[in-house]
Amino acid sequence: MAAASSASPAAILKDAGLFALVAFGLCVPIVSHRTDLGADGLELTPRWGLVAGLCAAIFAVRLVQRLVLERRAARAVLTPSPHQATEPVGAEPNAAQYPSSLGLPRLGLPLFVGFALFLPLIAALASGGLSPARYWIDLGILILTYVMLGWGLNIVVGLAGLLDLGYVAFYAVGAYSYALLSTVFGLSFWVCLPLAGLFAGLWGVMLGFPVLRLRGDYLAIVTLAFGEIIRLVLINWTDVTGGSAGISSIPRATFFGVPFKAGPDGFSALVGLPFDPMHRIVFLYYLILALALLTSLVTLRLRRLPLGRAWEALREDEIACRSLGIDTTKTKLTAFALGAMFGGFAGSFFAVRQGFVSPESFNFLESAIILAIVVLGGMGSQLGVAVAAVAMVGGPELLRNLGFLKAVFGEGFDPNEFRLLLFGLAMVAMMIWRPRGLISDRMPTVALGQRKAIGKDLVREGHG
């Protein structure tokens, strides 16, 4: 791989030409003719101009890519990472450690939290009132939900190194737990929240027991299947879950028992403010912020406890862990259960916010997005996951505001339709530029002197 020989310009041209040719081949059946419903059956409208344009574009993109990659590869070949060293060479000037770069991760999380704390205020001031700010606060809630899910999954994937493709199942368990407990037994949100976490955690253990002896790809496949099983059960167990219709009119969140409504016993009367439906939204915002911060705090704390250290050791080398007397099955189970528990919390928040749950909200794409947030953020990094969640969830929202593109692509153009395309492109770009995520360094959990970040090259990703 490292042996990318410097190709001649002719070879690069030839390569780009080949790409264009393949594109042409693909275009002929797919693009070259448009079928319209004409007066007498289908009519074919040739679009050779478009085909030529596409091929030219692909030729150009490949050309640029080769030229850029060529130089990058040449540079990379001359400076392989220290990890590729077959022996720790001249280890004295520590190549994989750089305390100077600590600033960002150390300041980043407080900055993020600080901004998140004041977001409703900022949004209200910027858009002149609470109600106009609703869009921003709703977006904030959505992003924070994913931040929390990302942080929860981060325990499983980032710290313990277990690839879980069915995380959304625990999110679903949490959501349905609250939905059912509140509609059937009339339990309040504050009672249901811990219960939902508990149930999801239990499901985590139940799934974990048979599954955790699997490794790598096999574990991923089984967790993927688990996610689908939960969704299918939710769809088909109509008596309890309401099938694909889902469960509606779930009780709304109350301010610790005080409902958000107009009138003498409502929240606004209690605090002496004029009634505003936005109070509930702002409350929900702070609720999810608190839940997310709880997840983060617990994770940060756990990393410094023997359990968290054992998770990371497990990710580094499972066999060594066993030789040191660590019960790897139990350790994996705790990671699974805790991750699932936070997923359950997030799920019950989702249910209380929406007032409605249906299996549709818990499809594989959700799992994939949460996992992508963790991977893009950098496994194990709190700040990275937060930033990735903002980008992955907030980014598509930006697309709504790209109306000016209509001037370029015509009236029928809806940027939103390209969400997944951009999502995929962003993923590919990340894999090229930062294959280990935005923040891939690892901070030691204990130190005699100064804590120095450990470069990604030494940190392993786990085998499953």
Partner 1 sequence: MNAPLLSLRGVSAYYGSVAALRGVDLDVNEGEIVTLIGANGAGKSTLMMTVFGAPRARSGTIAFAGEDITARPTHAIARLGLAQSPEGRRVFPRMSVQENLQMGAALHGGRYFGQDLEKVCTLFPRLKERLNQRAGTMSGGEQQMLAIGRALMSRPRLLMLDEPSLGLAPLVVKQIFSAISALNREEGMTIFLVEQNAYHALKLAHRGSVLVNGRITLSGPARALLDDPSIKAAYLEGGHAPTASVGEGVQA
Partner 2 sequence: MATRRPDDPDAVLTVDHLTMRFGGLTAVDDLSFKARRGDITALIGPNGAGKTTVFNCITGFYRPSEGMLTLRHTDGATHLLERLPNHAVNRRARVARTFQNIRLFSGMTVLENLMVAQHAPLMRASGYTLLGLLGLPGYRRAEAAAVAKATAWLERIDLLRRADDPAGDLPYGDQRRLEIARAMCTGPELLCLDEPAAGLNPRESADLARLLRHIRDEHATSVLLIEHDMAVVMEISDHVVVLDYGKKIADGPPREIREDPKVIAAYLGVEDEEVAQVDAEVGLTIPVAEEARP
Does 85 contact partner 1 by CB under 8 A? yes
- Binding-site size, partner 1 (CB under 8 A): 23
Does 100 contact partner 2 by CB under 8 A? no
Burial 352-389 (b: 16+ CB within 10 A, else e): bbeebbbbebbeeebbbbbbbbbbbbbbbbbbbbbbbb
Quick one: which of 79, 323, 401, 450 contacts partner 1 (CB under 8 A)? 79
Does 84 contact partner 1 by CB under 8 A? yes
Please give the angle made by the CA atoms of 203, 252 and 362, to the nearest 5 degrees: 40
Minimum CB–partner distance for residue 463 and partner 2 (Å): 13
Does 96 contact partner 2 by CB under 8 A? yes
**DSSP tag of 453:** P
If the CB atoms of residues 323 and 401 are measured against partner 2, the closer one turns out to be: 323
Minimum CB–partner distance for residue 192 and partner 2 (Å): 22
| Residue of 363, 384, 362, 365 lying closest to 374 (CA atoms) | 384
Minimum CB–partner distance for residue 410 and partner 1 (Å): 47
If the CB atoms of residues 88 and 103 are measured against partner 1, the closer one turns out to be: 88
Please give the angle made by the CA atoms of 99, 105 and 109, to the nearest 5 degrees: 150
- Binding-site size, partner 2 (CB under 8 A): 47
Q: How far lies 202's CA from each of 174, 322, 395, in Å?
A: 11, 25, 34
- Check: CB of residue 357 under 8 Å from CB of residue 176: yes
Does 191 contact partner 1 by CB under 8 A? no
Residues numbered 265-304 forming contacts with partner 2, rule: CB under 8 A: 298, 301-302
Does 217 contact partner 2 by CB under 8 A? no
Quick one: which of 77, 235, 369, 399 contacts partner 1 (CB under 8 A)? 77
Q: Which run of H or of E encompasses 324?
A: none
- Check: CB of residue 175 under 8 Å from CB of residue 349: no
d(CA 352, CA 179): 8
448 binds, among partner 1, partner 2, none (CB under 5 to 8 A by kind): partner 2
d(CA 22, CA 124): 53
Quick one: which of 29, 88, 103, 410 contacts partner 1 (CB under 8 A)? 88
Minimum CB–partner distance for residue 326 and partner 1 (Å): 25
d(CA 356, CA 353): 8
Does 81 contact partner 1 by CB under 8 A? yes
Does 307 contact partner 2 by CB under 8 A? yes
| Residue of 347, 12, 304 lying closest to 148 (CA atoms) | 347
Q: How far lies 418's CA from each of 413, 430, 460, in Å?
A: 10, 18, 34
Interface contacts to partner 1, rule CB under 8 A: 2-6, 77-82, 84-91, 93, 95-96, 457
Interface contacts to partner 2, rule CB under 8 A: 82-83, 87-88, 91, 94-97, 298, 301-302, 305-307, 309-310, 312-313, 316-317, 319-328, 334, 442, 444-452, 454-455, 458-460
